[in-house]
Amino acid sequence: MSKPVLLTVDDDPEVLNAVERDLRHHFRTDYRVVKASSGAQALEAVRQLKQRGAHVALFLVDERMPQMTGTQFLREAIKLYPDARRVLLTAYADTDTAIAAINEIGLDHYLLKPWEPPSTRLYPVLEDLLSDWFARARPSFDGIRVAGNSLSPASYAVKDFLASNQVPYQWLDMENDAAVRELLSGASGGAARLPVVLFPDGTMLVQPTPRELAEKLGMQTQARKPFYDLIVIGGGPAGLAAAVYGASEGLRTILVERSAPGGQAGTSSNIENYLGFPGGVTGADLARRAATQARRFGAEIITAQEALVIRREDPYRTVIMSDGAELTGYAVLIAPGMEVRRLEAQGVDELVGAGVYYGAALTEAATVRGKDVIVVGGANSAGQAAMFFSRHARKVTILVRGPQLSAGMSRYLVDRITETPNVEVLVNTSVAGARGNGRLEAVTVMDNVSGERRELSPAAMFIFIGTAPRTALCDDIVMRDDKGFVLTGRDVMSDGRPPAGWTAPRDPYLFETSVPGIFCAGDARHGSGKRVAAAVGEGSATVSMVHQYLQTV
Ligand SMILES: Cc1cc2nc3c(=O)[nH]c(=O)nc-3n(C[C@H](O)[C@H](O)[C@H](O)COP(=O)(O)OP(=O)(O)OC[C@H]3O[C@@H](n4cnc5c(N)ncnc54)[C@H](O)[C@@H]3O)c2cc1C
């Protein structure tokens, strides 16, 4: 396979040659550098590259070019290479244009000229973008293939596990591909035993569990040490932040995640309000970066393992996991976040994974291309999903129970939805039922004011009707409020006194629960901020409390 291309465009020959020289110097082992001296010439090069089946990873383009500006060129070029990273070379005076381009064409970065020295001002930025590109648009496919039925819960579960763990795979649709049916006939015991996961080493797994997949993929599912300073339960932003800070500050740290690092944030198609990412960041990118960072500092992350019970045997804390294995340590951080609330309407449960999805099943984008979809819910997560699917589906209908969208949604999302022609909002509307024979065929919606019912026929329905804390594992060990959120700090005190069973000669720390040495951070904590940044802040801040606690055990 030929190397992916880095395409640079500038009408000033001196600048063009300097960019080309710097790019070649640093990236020539893995990428081919192509240059063009005008937007028109560059577009012609892009068309030829596309025809030859070449992969373009990055456009690095000067904004100021006489016939066609950098932004104008990018607007055309990304039609052929939508995954390529986009960087503008700008002068100081072009800053406003560059910022506008973030919204208009999804600009990833703008570099101010001159970029000397490239080792600090050019290469780190481009390396970062290219690693993103590589993670998302892996050019040649020589990896895992999943063969199944597109609207089958078991196939969806496997795709979802691979996608949320950011394992690239190729989807083979048995229904539409006779060659795949032939390949697998006999091997999987017929269509009843789908999906089949085919690995590059020639082996296959039939209807695998997440645990079997994780083990086959070489993910860590068992602890390596006999004892830890800090055991983190949950790999969302709160847990990942605690793992990064804990491990970086020398604590023997392990994180247990039942599914994949990232948590709720990991399912977000674009987080636009997280500090330091003016163009937004996908939840998947954030999760990948955080997990890599935690591992780099020496934290262990075990996936496809659920923490079921926490036991207190002073001064030790033991976490018992779904396979019966135990983790023992001094301190535990509970960061299990929230789980989505179930939609109670006739017929919905039977169709989950077969056209009905909880959360933003991003894996289904290809399945709904050109079709109609429903998004249920009126808060930010529903708005983000609607915007995401509007780029793939023919039409997105948002069902909102209340009289308006804006009550639970950020202004910027409401504005985007209003401006997007293929998104329709039905207010005062709820789901009365769903039906289908093995896959979703129709959804009955009800007007809450008139009581009138009618049927819609979407290809898929994505549900975002709120969340509840996932704190069943806290039963009988730490105090929770009446909604299930874990109480911490002053909230566990009653009349200025610590709770029953409190043994430490001090009051609980800010994020400490009713048991010394067991902490809680993130969405599952009573009174938390319910935002990515808030969860990250709480997870990191907990580590300093863990340090103080460790001095006493
Ligand atoms: C679709 C969507 C979009 C969002 N967009 C934004 C946004 O744009 N900006 C913003 O600020 N916030 C956003 N949020 C909110 C934000 O994602 C949450 O506030 C944040 O993820 C909370 O982090 P957390 O670590 O507390 O919990 P979570 O993210 O919920 O993570 C908890 C993790 O713990 C794991 N877990 C749970 N129980 C166990 C157990 N017993 N054993 C092992 N693992 C367990 C779960 O699998 C999960 O991975 C969004 C949420 C959603 C759902």
Among 160, 161, 264, 334, the mutation site with the greatest number of ligand 1 atoms within 8 A of its Cβ is 264
Q: What are phi and psi of 445, to 5 degrees?
A: -110, 150
Nearest CA to ligand 1 atom 37: 336
Separation of 339 CA from ligand 1 center, angstroms?
Answer: 8
Ligand 1 within 6 A of CB of 375: no
CB 239 near ligand 1, within 6 Å: yes
| Ligand 1 atom closest to Cα of residue 306 | 42
CA-proximal residue: ligand 1, atom 22 (nearest): 523
Q: Whose CA is nearest to atom 48 of ligand 1?
A: 263
Q: Which atom of ligand 1 is nearest to the CA of 339?
A: 30
546 DSSP assignment: H
CA 267 to ligand 1 centroid distance, Å: 8
- Whether 380 lines ligand 1, by a CB cut-off of 6 Å, is yes
Question: Of the candidates 267, 121, 143, which has an alpha carbon nearest to the alpha carbon of residue 197?
Answer: 143
- How far apart, in Å, do the first and last CA atoms of the chain sit? 57
Q: How many angstroms separate the CA atoms of 167 and 138, rounded? A: 11
Does the Cβ of 160 fall within 6 Å of ligand 1?
no
Cβ–ligand 1 contact at 236 (below 6 Å): yes
The finding on whether 267 has its CB within 6 A of some atom of ligand 1 is yes
DSSP 91: -
Please give the number of the atom of ligand 1 that sits closest to the Cα of 238: 25
H-type alpha helices, 34-141: 39-51, 70-80, 95-105, 118-121, 123-136
Task: Give distance in angstroms: CA of 202 to centre of ligand 1.
Answer: 36
CA torsion angle 351 357 361 364 (round to 10)? 40
Q: Is the CB of 302 under 6 A from ligand 1?
A: no
Distances (CA, A) of 478 to 226, 309, 468, 500: 25, 11, 17, 11
The answer to whether the CB of 517 is under 6 A from ligand 1 is no
State the residue for tokens 């009800």.
Answer: 446
Predicted pLDDT of residue 169: 87
State if residue 530 touches ligand 1 by the CB under 6 angstroms criterion.
yes
531 CA distance to ligand 1 middle (Å): 9
In angstroms, the CA 302 to CA 16 distance is 47
For every one of its 553 residues, what pLDDT tens digit does the chain have, with 9 covering 90 and above? 568 999 999 999 999 999 999 999 999 988 999 999 999 999 999 988 887 778 899 999 999 999 999 999 999 999 889 889 999 999 888 888 888 999 889 999 999 888 888 988 899 899 889 988 887 775 555 678 898 887 788 888 999 899 888 888 888 888 777 666 766 665 555 556 789 998 878 788 999 999 999 999 999 999 999 999 999 999 999 999 999 999 999 999 999 999 999 999 988 878 989 999 988 898 888 999 999 999 999 999 999 999 999 999 999 999 999 999 999 999 999 999 999 889 999 999 999 988 999 976 767 777 888 999 999 999 988 999 999 999 999 999 999 999 988 778 889 999 999 999 999 999 999 999 999 998 999 999 999 999 999 999 999 999 999 889 999 999 999 999 999 999 999 999 999 999 999 999 999 999 999 999 999 999 999 999 999 999 999 999 999 999 999 999 9
Q: Which residues on neighbouring strands pair with residue 198, listed in sequence order?
A: 145, 204
Ligand 1 neighbourhood includes 281 CB (under 6 angstroms) = no
Q: Name, in order, each residue with C-beta under 8 angstroms of 506's C-beta and a sequence gap of 6 or more.
A: none
Distance (Å) from CA 259 to ligand 1 centroid: 12
Ligand 1 atom closest to Cα of residue 322: 42
Q: Do the beta carbons of residue 518 and residue 334 sit within 8 Å?
A: yes
- Crossing angle of helices 70-80 and 39-51, rounded to 10°: 10
CB of 263 shorter than 6 A to ligand 1: yes
pLDDT given for residue 172 in this prediction: 84
Would the CB of 531 count as within 6 Å of ligand 1? yes
